[in-house]
Structure 1
Amino acid sequence: MSIITKREQQILTIIRDNPLISQKQLAEQLGLTRSSVAVHITNLMKKGLIRGKGYILNENNYVTVIGGSNIDIIGFPNQPLRVKDSNPGVVKISVGGVGRNIAENISRLGICSKLITAVGSDLYGKKIVNESKVAGINMDHIMVLENVSSSTYLSVMNKNGDMNIAISHMEAIEHLAISYLKKHDSIIKNSTCLVLDTNLTKDVIEFLVNNYHSTNIFVDTVSVAKSSKIKDLLPYIHTIKPNRYEAEHLTGITLNNKKSIYKALKHLLTLGVKNVVISMGNQGVFYSNENGEGHVPVTNVKLVNSTGAGDAFMAGLVYGYLNHKSLKKSCEISMAASAITLSSQLTINPNLNINTVKKIVKENY
């Protein structure tokens, strides 16, 4: 699959909104020379992403992500947290949501992504849509809800950058119904692969895995409680990446040493999953599929903010799969993407791209 540069992503986003835009207008909008734009257009044509006059988009190779989108409001204290007190610090507001974050990370790795999600018609909803478009996500298929607030995730970190407490208001995604997804059947069916998060309702997840399992499905389990939604659907799932506690919940096996971790991996494979990756925090990840099993350690990175690292990891797995990498190599790519995310106060690090990922892989593995 061809790699898309950040500038090419910007051009594709503009062309998607205005296919008849001229190279002169593109140059003015982006602050480039017309000759530079012509080079980018030629490269996009060579990569098969646009074709003919009028810049018709060719999106035969794309990933569809179906899941949550929200506004992230994250507080970072300057000092150790004091309970029941006002803590001086910094508050960051950014667009987020597991599904939306995965879609943006996939886009930043140079792969076309389409997002199906639900947002309100409020200011937060407009912010989610506009910033996601700028990030290169195709937002043509989202559901915009009247009289429903866009989802919001509020968290407070400790002085080490780990989450101390969070409140998740995810009402909007509950309105994403099967009837709406049926209207987008061709988009889902023609995806190179399909990524779901378990913020979706159980009936929606069941509908998707039962009707589209011929398209390889990747699932982000999100949390212990929400992972229950896929417990009976594992034979239809291609790849999952639970953390320690989600894996314990799905298998009934306590993960307290390597032997128990590999036992859980094997158990999930026997239930029908093709690729299983279990995150064990600072112990790294353990993986298994029919070709073998193994361990990938964490990279050396200063933790600034743990929010969003799992979303970057899933995007890395998708990138590895689409580029025919082994599961081990895919996990290395994913660990590098996570490391880049962990080093930023933002949920998605704007420095994430395939070149920065490859650099970390080379330095650590």
Structure 2
Amino acid sequence: MEKQRKDGEVEAVPVVIGGMVLDIQATSSIPPHPRTTCPGQIYYVQGGVARNIAECMTKLGAQPFMISALGFDMPGKLLLEHWKSAGLRTEGIRKHKDIKTPTVCHILDVSGEVAAGVASVEAVEMFLTPEWIQQFKHTIHSAPLLMVDANLSPPALEVSCRLAAESNVPVWFEPVSIAKSKRIAPIVKYITFASPNEDELIAMANALSSQNLFRPIERNNCSTDTLFQMLKPAIWLLLEKGVKILVLTIGSDGVLLCTKGESISWRNCLEKTQQHGFSRQLFENMTSSYPSNLYCDSKVLERSPNFLAVHFPALPASVVRLTGAGDCLVGGMIASLSTGLDVMQSVAIGIAAAKASVEVDSNVPSQFSLPTITGDARIVYSTAKLLQHQSKL
């Protein structure tokens, strides 16, 4: 099933493993009330954390290999046809008559935030088995990066990470939800990148500690510096347990990028990179005219003896819906890393991609504008702020 080049080698492309989901998104035009209906709009949207990330990567010029599972039902046919129409590969997508294609129903409030939702995604755990994933071991071995979402069962996560480790392939763990984020515990030693929000960070830290030491943060309109200080113990625990680079999303305040200061983490950390069309232009634009910024000076970062954290602000946006923002942030980052951009540049691209996603009805924009993405990324990069740069907490 694995695609090989003429020389017999398996093609080196990023691998994404996780759910493809049909999102039924209901947006109320007035504040919803319990026990009654309200006027609004209902949309069928191609979704799923892993699927969204892979589609975003594709539209930024990367060529990810998707490993997932779909049924022959209406949601499955809709998702597969959209995937094929985008010219994406389907060899890694398991299709079976017994699969009930994952479906999620979201109720969105007037601001575009999820007010409530119901998820039927059991098929990801039931049919994305270790045996199915094992079939694509050579593709994983050749990948510049492997992304797994926490919808996978613990055994599937374990075999995916182990296959990556056999060839020193960096692993990106996307927590998906508070409950599923805890699945990081048995595999944390394999994780290079993790991308939680604040609540998922707390859940992951508790799963990795001997007892529930951490409590959800009450923001109360606090500053980013204050929020960072409150989250720092949980951040540090994840880094101590093995996560190399933490990409912490903090909503409209942007992203906190944290590491224990290994200098290689801040340069291009992927041994294998590829550039195709859009991604080549993206790489050239970002490397040829990047603004100078004291906080993002690579020499400063490489001198960091231990703990380092940088805040990247979010961009102003005309919000339509927020459901795809986190996935496009991750997709933008992985696509950028896969072209050879460094982590700092990739965060900026990710935030620019996230901004584009919240301004459209779909989880992933139908296309990205190269001038807009690079222009927005330069703004984010140039306003990044160093929060901590020291040897001890």
TM-score (norm 2): 0.75
Letter in 1 for 2:182: S
Q: 1:117 to 1:354 in 2, by over 3 A?
A: farther
User: CA contact under 8 A between 1:110 and 1:354: conserved in structure 2?
Assistant: no
Q: 1:27 maps to which residue?
A: none
Q: 1:302 maps to which residue?
A: 318
2:84 is paired with a residue whose SS is helix
User: CA contact under 8 A between 2:10 and 2:138: conserved in structure 1?
Assistant: no
1:96 aligns to 2:47 (yes or no): yes
Structure-2 separation of matches of 1:148 and 1:262: 42
1:210 aligns to 2:180 (yes or no): no
Give 2:153's match in structure 1, choosing from 190, 201, 212: 201
Identity of aligned residues (%): 24
Listed one character per residue, the Cα deviations across residues 254-313 of structure 1 (whole Å, up to 9, x for unaligned) are 456221333333322221111111111122211112243210111100221111111101
User: CA contact under 8 A between 1:105 and 1:352: conserved in structure 2?
Assistant: no
Structure-2 separation of matches of 1:59 and 1:107: 19
Q: How does 1:43-122 map to 2 (within 5 A)?
A: 60-122=11-73
Structure-2 separation of matches of 1:64 and 1:57: 19
Letter in 2 for 1:231: A
User: CA contact under 8 A between 2:28 and 2:39: conserved in structure 1?
Assistant: yes
Letter in 1 for 2:246: V
Q: How does 1:1-365 map to 2 (within 5 A)?
A: 60-174=11-125, 175-213=127-165, 214-252=168-206, 253-254=214-215, 255=217, 257-289=227-259, 290=261, 291=263, 292-352=308-368, 354-364=370-380, 365=382
Gaps of 5+ in 1: 1-48
Letter in 1 for 2:235: L
Q: How far does residue 330 in structure 1 lie from its aligned partner after superposition?
A: 1.8
State which drifts further: 236-245 or 123-132. 123-132
State which drifts further: 141-150 or 160-169. 141-150
Q: Tell me the matched-pair count.
A: 313
Structure-2 separation of matches of 1:328 and 1:261: 21
Structure-2 separation of matches of 1:307 and 1:355: 24
Q: 1:40 maps to which residue?
A: none
CA RMSD of aligned residues (A): 2.2
2:368 is paired with a residue whose SS is coil
Structure-2 separation of matches of 1:73 and 1:155: 6
User: CA contact under 8 A between 1:59 and 1:112: conserved in structure 2?
Assistant: no
User: CA contact under 8 A between 1:196 and 1:218: conserved in structure 2?
Assistant: yes
Q: How far does residue 250 in structure 1 lie from its aligned partner after superposition?
A: 1.7
User: CA contact under 8 A between 1:340 and 1:351: conserved in structure 2?
Assistant: no
Q: How far does residue 83 in structure 1 lie from its aligned partner after superposition?
A: 2.5
Letter in 2 for 1:321: L
User: CA contact under 8 A between 1:296 and 1:328: conserved in structure 2?
Assistant: no
Structure-1 separation of matches of 2:145 and 2:370: 19
User: CA contact under 8 A between 1:151 and 1:171: conserved in structure 2?
Assistant: yes
Structure-2 separation of matches of 1:166 and 1:108: 28
Q: 1:24 maps to which residue?
A: none
Letter in 2 for 1:359: G
1:232 is paired with a residue whose SS is helix
Q: How far does residue 317 in structure 1 lie from its aligned partner after superposition?
A: 1.8
Q: 1:351 to 1:211 in 2, by over 3 A?
A: closer
Listed one character per residue, the Cα deviations across residues 183-219 of structure 1 (whole Å, up to 9, x for unaligned) are 2222222212111000001111011112322211111
User: CA contact under 8 A between 2:14 and 2:338: conserved in structure 1?
Assistant: no
Structure-2 separation of matches of 1:135 and 1:312: 17
Q: 2:284 maps to which residue?
A: none
Q: How far does residue 351 in structure 1 lie from its aligned partner after superposition?
A: 3.1
Structure-2 separation of matches of 1:326 and 1:266: 22
User: CA contact under 8 A between 2:249 and 2:255: conserved in structure 1?
Assistant: yes
State which drifts further: 162-171 or 84-93. 84-93
Letter in 1 for 2:132: Y
TM-score (norm 1): 0.80
2:107 is paired with a residue whose SS is strand
Listed one character per residue, the Cα deviations across residues 147-201 of structure 1 (whole Å, up to 9, x for unaligned) are 3321101111111111111111102212211111222222222212111000001
Structure-1 separation of matches of 2:138 and 2:98: 29
Letter in 2 for 1:75: A
If asked which structure has higher relative contact order (CA below 8 Å, sep 6+), I would say 2
User: CA contact under 8 A between 2:317 and 2:359: conserved in structure 1?
Assistant: yes
Letter in 2 for 1:234: V
